[in-house]
Every structure is written in structure tokens, then in C-alpha cells.
Amino acid sequence: MTYPEQLPDGAGRFGPFGGRYIPETLTAAVSELERAYLEAREDVGFRAELDRLHRTYTGRPTPVTFAARLTGHCGGARIWLKREDLAHTGAHKINNALGQGLLAKRMGKRRVIAETGAGQHGVATATVCALLGLECVIYMGTEDMARQRPNVFRMRLLGAEVRGVDSGSRTLKDAINEAMRDWVTNPDSYYLLGSALGPHPYPLMVRDFQSVIGREARAQLLEAEGRLPDVVVACVGGGSNAIGIFHAFVGDSEVALRGVEAGGLGVESGRHAARFAGGQLGVLHGTRTLVLQDEDGQIALTHSVSAGLDYAAVGPEHAYLKETGRASYTYATDSEALEVFQLLCRTEGIIPALESSHAVAEAVKLARAMRPDQIILVNLSGRGDKDIFSVAEQLGVKMEP
Amino acid sequence: MSRIAGTFERLDREKRCALMPYLAIGFPERDSVLELAPALVEGGADMLELGMPFSDPLADGATIQRATERALRNGIRVEDCLNTVRRLRRQGIDIPLLLMGYYNPIMRYGEERFAEHAAAAGVDGLIIPDLPPEEAEPLRAACAERGIDIIFFLTPTSTDERMAQVAQRASGFIYCVSLAGVTGARSQLSPALGPFLERVRRFSTLPRAVGFGISRPEHVAQISSMAEGAIVASALINKLEQLPPAQHRDAAREFVAALSSATRRG
């Protein structure tokens, strides 16, 4: 099946997925956002300003690195890393935060609301708000605040107000609920959603802002290797880094696309965030997609060692990529991710985010079964400095924070 | 004629606005609604809105979140909600009963199946805050076939274009959100409410019921001169939360009676 060029459609649909399932109280604000974004998208001046800031502030283009020792260790396909860990604030999240921050400014907004799980999107948003002079309120589940204390302090240093969310499971989904409640109450604020999720136009807009990853990587690999990779691998929480690197390759039918979800303690344990392994069609946070839920349609509690993959719904475009067969999805467990986290530290001198370690774990498995003349491109979506405390804890190492 | 339309017609003759209080099914105990609903009817409720719990109620404020979280802990499922309506009908409650809930549990239950079972139980209307009209067509069709109204919302920020779109698909009544925000009791009604309700009237002849932030008889009195219905949710839950369960029945009846006395058009 060929993958259609122009997606989503005007209603924000990717086949049967996506759409806009929002309370009427948000309709005016979301419609205003859609109009403003579609206009900005066509504006050469807007794109030029974003490019300029990416060059001079974000540090783009980020390089691709040939992982020579990791490749040697696996004894198979050549592994390349797209180094989003080297972007300002240490992850791909800045690509989207900067794009939407400029849009907020263009719309004349003064106050920005965002949710965060691991804290990476919150840090990126707080950073952009400081850069652009916008007031910033970040919602974060209190459970996540406890796991990611350094990021909470970073956001506060950057001038953001961090509001703990004590409802529900006290993680990302509850932070999104609370951010949406804030937006309903303050429709003049700008809601800077962090992943390729939520009501239309977010999945489109976040993909657009993240697709710089794949555009750069595609050109960089063509130059370095003289050809395209055989497989592109990325981890999938909401799915913004994955859609960001996949998008430029969707039309290259010879390139396989491989998404890696959080297998947590194993899919059979029920404690995971592998929507493609255990999810059902549903609606969460404004979009129709695969959702982990119980038999009564209540949203399931998810688990992953990495807070950034710990979410019950997958971005709607990934659901569609899976359904059309254009991309395939698998998962890596907590322990596989932890093992590869250490492997990459020792073989390449790179401390990867636990999220990105899921993608590297799959690349290692694939490489072993592939020929040495084949190429794997992995999106190293973030750096792992934020994770050292939780990794120490997992490894039974006592560390004074 | 449907129960909802019949009720608004009768109240129009009586020169009163409809009073629709809300109860969360499963709050505070599994079967509390079976006792509280008759008390509300005795107090003068003209219609009842019954909340189905959902894990992620993003249009609701803290009060209703707490109540529905408690209902989930009490093990309330979609089937229990339908059963509650069935049992209330068996008790002889004959006023319009509406279920309020989020879309995912209904989708999971199956839209056709839900419409069929809701109709059989005696449900008159559905209020689904995260299902706007443009996404509601399959469920709307399944419900319309069986005489169930899906109630759509309009808000003070709705544009004229939006009002026309929503009015075209609406049935039963229009849920007019009084303010920008989530559900929850407020001390005062917005001064913009009157002009908003007049705008709604330009696009639809359906009854207009005002909800969000309504807590006092004087609010209901104001609304009775501008609209056809008043919806009271968080204020009643707040009241019940402050009292020991043994007093809930009487307190609910008295609370609604005080509001009901303000429904006569002045």
C-alpha cells in the first residue's frame, strides 16, 4: 500500500485516526490556532526566522555520528546516530518548542502553558519562553516531579512556574488534563503541546517542526554513505522524535521505518506502555488512536523506566503508519534499555536518554541480523544526564543527589 | 414527543425554567444515586443529569473530578450506569434522565450497542463534553433512531459560524456554557451571559439550558428570565461532601427545593 502524500486531511484525519475530540469550550481557541499555524506555515519570513534561530541558538544542524565501536560490537550492519542529544537543552524537544514559541509570539500571546512528563519538553518550553520573553506555566505530575527533580529545578531557573498535578496517576496524562483545563479557563493563553498528539492541528504542526531531524539526517547520510539507510529506528512515546525522523523517508519505499515503544517490565506483565502490543482504538486528549485502556474504556496506568515514553496513547500518524504497513513497531523492555544505556556509554562515549536507549536497543538487535554493507540510522533523541539518578537506582548504586 | 421536549413545553406553559441537578453515579457510595435521585425529584428537579465516571475528565473542575474518582474506586462501570437508569425507571421516576460522560468508555462499549442499551434502560439524552458535533455522527445517528438526544454545547466564545454549525445538528436542548472554564461553582454569573443567550436564540429555536458555575437560588432566578433551563452540578456535590451520608437525602432535597423556588419567570 502506498502512503498518501497529503496527510492529515482538512479535519486532521490520518485515515481513521486523528481528528479533533475537544470540549466546545476549546473550539474557538483551537480554530484560532489552526488558522494562525496554516498561515505561518506558508510564510517565508516565519520559516526563515525559525531557521535562523535553529542555526544560531539550537545548534542545528545536529551531526550524524558513525557508531564504529558499537557497530563492531554487534558485528553486522553499520549503525549511524542522529545526534539530537547535541541540540540545545539536550533533546529534540527544542525543535517543536521553538517553532510553537515563535507561533505564540506571532499570535500576540503573552502566556504559554505546557505539560511535561520527563521534563524535557518542559525545559525546552521554559527555555524558549525565556528567549522570547513569554510567561510560562508548566504542569507536571507529582510522581514525575519526584523522578525528575533536576529538570524541575532547571525549569524554575529558566523562569517558569512549575505546577504539580496531584490528580489521577500523577504522570504525563494528568499533566495534559490539567494543562487543557488551564487553557479552557484562559483561552488567551497559548498551549504548547509537546508531542505529535492531541487535537488537530497539533499532530501536523509538531510533525512539521520535528521533521527537520529527518531532512537533515537524510542529506547527511546521502553525503557520508552515498545512499539511504536500510532502516530508520526511533523510540515512540507520543511519537514526536519518531515522526520527525520518519517523515523525510516516508516516500523512500526502500527504507524500512521501525518504531520502538516502552515494553516496561514486559508486555505480559501488564506494566508497560506498548500501545501497539496492548492498545485498542480509543480517544484520549482530543485524538482518535490506539490507547491502552481497560475493558470499560478507562485509561490504563502505564509503566516505563523512562518517563518520556510512559503514556497511554500513541500519536495518530503512527497508528496510521502501522495500519498502512509503512512502518512497523516493536518494544524494548526496561532492562534492555538499561543494558544498552551502559553499552552506548562505554562503546561510544555517549550517555543516551533512557527514551533513546529503547531505539538503540532495537538497532543492536537488528544490526546483528543484518549484513555489514547495510545501514541503520537511529534517532538519538536526547542525552541521558537527566537519567543518571534513576539509572543508579536501577543498578543498585547509592548516589547523593 | 420526547420526554425532554415535553418537559420544556410544559414548563413553558407554567412560566418556569427547567432545573437539572447533577449526580455522579457511584458517589459517594455505589448505589447512592438510587436514594438521592428520588430526593431531588421530591425537591423539584425537572430533569436529572447522571455522571458516568471517566479516568481523565478534562472538562471538569476539582469537585466533579473528586466525585467521579470516588465512583471509579467504587467500581462503577458503564453497565452500572445503564442499570442505575433502569432501576430509577422501575422506581417510577418519570422525568428526563440524561447520562453525562466522556467518549472513550462509550466508544469501547460500542456506539450501536450503547445506544440500544441506553434506550432500553430509559435514557433520554447524552451529554458528552469531548464529542463535538462534527465527530459525533455515528453515535448521533444511532441515538436519533432510538429517540435519544445528544446534547451539544455552545459557549460565549463560539463564533456565529460555529453557532450555526452546532445548531444544525443539535436536538433536545442546547447546553450553554456560562463562562470560559471548567465545571465548578462560582459566586457570580458573568454579565456577558445575557447577550450570549440572545445570540444562541438567533441560531436555534431549541431550549437553552445554562450550566457551569451555577450554585445559588439567585443565579437560577437570573437564568429563568434569560433561558429555559439551569444546570447545577458542582454546588450540589460540594454540599454533599460537607455532610455525613445519613443527611444526604434531606440535604439534597432541600438544596434543590431552594433552587426550584427560583425557577418561576419573574
Q: What is the pLDDT of residues A362-400, one digit of tens each?
A: 999 999 999 999 999 999 999 999 899 889 999 999 876
Residue B164 has pLDDT above 90, yes or no: yes
The residue type at B180: A
Q: What is the pLDDT of residues B67-87, one digit of tens each?
A: 999 999 999 999 999 999 999
* Mutation target vs B (from A24, A139, A191; most B CBs, 10 A cutoff): A24
Nearest to B104 among A24, A184, A293 (CB): A293
* Residue A202 to residue A103: CA distance in whole angstroms: 12
User: What average pLDDT is seen over chain A?
Assistant: 96
Total Cβ atoms within 10 A of residue B83: 16
User: What average pLDDT is seen over chain B?
Assistant: 96
Facing residues of A138 across strands?
A114, A162
Indicate if the alpha-carbon torsion angle A213, A218, A224, A225 is positive or negative: positive
Q: What is the pLDDT of residues A25-67, one digit of tens each?
A: 999 999 999 999 999 999 999 999 999 999 999 999 999 999 9
User: Residue A67 gets which letter from DSSP?
Assistant: -
Angle at A156 between CA A151 and CA A160, to 5 degrees: 110
Residue among A216, A247, A203 nearest A59 (CA): A216
What are the C-alpha distances in Å from B23 to residues A53, A384, B34? 52, 48, 10
Residue among B92, B95, B85 nearest B25 (CA): B85
* Residue B121 to residue B117: CA distance in whole angstroms: 6
pLDDT band at A68 (very low <50, low <70, confident <90, very high): very high
Q: What is the pLDDT of residues A82-119, one digit of tens each?
A: 999 999 999 999 999 999 999 999 999 999 999 999 89
Residues A91/A204, Cβ–Cβ less than 8 Å: no
Q: What is the pLDDT of residues A125-141, one digit of tens each?
A: 999 999 999 999 999 99
- Are the beta carbons of A299 and B158 separated by less than 8 Å? no
* Mutation target vs A (from B25, B54, B56; most A CBs, 10 A cutoff): B56
What mean pLDDT do residues A154-178 have? 94
pLDDT at residue A223 in the model: 98
Nearest to B107 among A167, A174, A297 (CB): A297
Report CA A395 to chain centroid distance, whole Å: 26
Beta strands A161-165; A135-141: pairing state = parallel
Q: What is the pLDDT of residues A342-364, one digit of tens each?
A: 999 999 999 999 999 999 999 99
pLDDT at residue A3 in the model: 63
Q: How far is B1 from chain A (nearest CA, A)?
A: 28
Residues B236/B255, Cβ–Cβ less than 8 Å: yes
At residue B150, the 3 state secondary structure works out as strand
Residues B100/B49, Cβ–Cβ less than 8 Å: yes
pLDDT at residue B179 in the model: 87
Three-class SS string for B90-144?
HCCCCCCEEEECCHHHHHHHCHHHHHHHHHHHCCCEEECCCCCHHHCHHHHHHHH
What are the C-alpha distances in Å from A389 to residues A5, A151, A307, A355, A397? 43, 12, 13, 15, 9
Angle at A312 between CA A195 and CA B143, to 5 degrees: 105
Nearest to A184 among B106, B108, B181 (CB): B181
Total Cβ atoms within 10 A of residue B54: 27
pLDDT band at B185 (very low <50, low <70, confident <90, very high): confident
Q: What is the pLDDT of residues B10-28, one digit of tens each?
A: 999 999 999 999 999 999 9
Domain B3-260 has CATH 1.10.150.120: no
Residue among B128, B140, B170, B172 nearest B8 (CA): B172
Radius of gyration of chain B (CA): 17
Cell triple for residue A167?
490528580
Higher pLDDT, A24 or A148: A24
User: Which one is catalytic: B42, B46, B60, B94?
Assistant: B60
List chain B domain ranges.
3-260
Whose cell is 500513541? That residue is: A314
* Residue A36 to residue A346: CA distance in whole angstroms: 47
Nearest to B58 among A177, A281, A297 (CB): A177
* Residue A123 to residue A385: CA distance in whole angstroms: 13
Q: Could you list the active site residues of A?
A: 93, 115, 381
Nearest to B181 among A185, A293, A298 (CB): A185
Whose cell is 425507571? That residue is: B89
Task: Tell me the angle at which helices B217-224 and B248-260 cross, rounded to the nearest 10 degrees.
Answer: 40
The ipTM value here is 0.96
pLDDT at residue A4 in the model: 65
* Residue A130 to residue A135: CA distance in whole angstroms: 8
Tell me if chain A has a CB within 8 Å of the CB of B158.
yes
Q: How far is B69 from chain A (nearest CA, A)?
A: 8
Whose cell is 548504586? That residue is: A397
* Mutation target vs A (from B130, B175, B177, B199; most A CBs, 10 A cutoff): B130
What are the C-alpha distances in Å from B248 to residues A119, A215, B37? 43, 63, 11
Tell me if chain A has a CB within 8 Å of the CB of B181.
yes
Facing residues of A231 across strands?
A256, A376
Tell me if chain A has a CB within 8 Å of the CB of B182.
yes
pLDDT at residue A11 in the model: 95
Q: How far is B257 from chain A (nearest CA, A)?
A: 30
Helix, strand, coil percentages in chain B from 3-state DSSP, rounded to 5: 50, 15, 35
Q: What is the pLDDT of residues B205-256, one digit of tens each?
A: 999 999 999 999 999 999 999 999 999 999 999 999 999 999 999 999 999 9
Residue among A301, A114, A137, A140 nearest A206 (CA): A114
Query: What is the distance between the terminal CA atoms of chain B, rounded to a whole angstrom?
Result: 28
User: Residue B233 gets which letter from DSSP?
Assistant: -
At residue A25, the 3 state secondary structure works out as helix
| Cβ within 8 Å of residue A176, ≥6 positions away | A115, A139, A193, A198, A285, B58
At residue A78, the 3 state secondary structure works out as strand
Cα-flanking dihedrals φ and ψ of residue B116, to 5°?
-65, -50
- Are the beta carbons of B56 and A286 separated by less than 8 Å? no
Interface of A with B (CB under 8 A): 11, 19-25, 27-29, 31, 167-168, 173-174, 176-177, 180-181, 184-187, 280-286, 291, 293, 295-299
pLDDT band at A1 (very low <50, low <70, confident <90, very high): very low
At residue B226, the 3 state secondary structure works out as coil
| Cβ within 8 Å of residue B155, ≥6 positions away | A24, A25, A27, A28, B176, B177, B180
pLDDT band at A146 (very low <50, low <70, confident <90, very high): confident
Q: How far is A174 from chain B (nearest CA, A)?
A: 7
Query: What is the distance between the terminal CA atoms of chain A, rounded to a whole angstrom?
Result: 51
- Are the beta carbons of B132 and A29 separated by less than 8 Å? no
Total Cβ atoms within 10 A of residue A350: 20
- Are the beta carbons of A23 and B130 separated by less than 8 Å? yes
B163: chain A residues, CB-CB within 8 Å: none
Residue A401 has pLDDT above 80, yes or no: no
pLDDT band at A6 (very low <50, low <70, confident <90, very high): confident
- Are the beta carbons of B54 and A298 separated by less than 8 Å? yes
* Residue A258 to residue A236: CA distance in whole angstroms: 10
- Are the beta carbons of B132 and A22 separated by less than 8 Å? yes
- Are the beta carbons of B56 and A180 separated by less than 8 Å? no
A31: chain B residues, CB-CB within 8 Å: 159, 162
- Are the beta carbons of B108 and A185 separated by less than 8 Å? no
B105: chain A residues, CB-CB within 8 Å: 296-298
Tell me if chain A has a CB within 8 Å of the CB of B131.
yes
Residue A2 has pLDDT above 80, yes or no: no
Tell me if chain A has a CB within 8 Å of the CB of B177.
yes
Residue A328 has pLDDT above 80, yes or no: yes
Nearest to B56 among A27, A29, A173 (CB): A173
Q: How far is A284 from chain B (nearest CA, A)?
A: 7
| Cβ within 8 Å of residue A56, ≥6 positions away | none
A167: chain B residues, CB-CB within 8 Å: 65, 69
What mean pLDDT do residues A278-295 have? 97
pLDDT at residue A5 in the model: 63
What mean pLDDT do residues B142-148 have? 97
Q: What is the pLDDT of residues A214-267, one digit of tens each?
A: 999 999 999 999 999 999 999 999 999 999 999 999 999 999 999 999 999 999
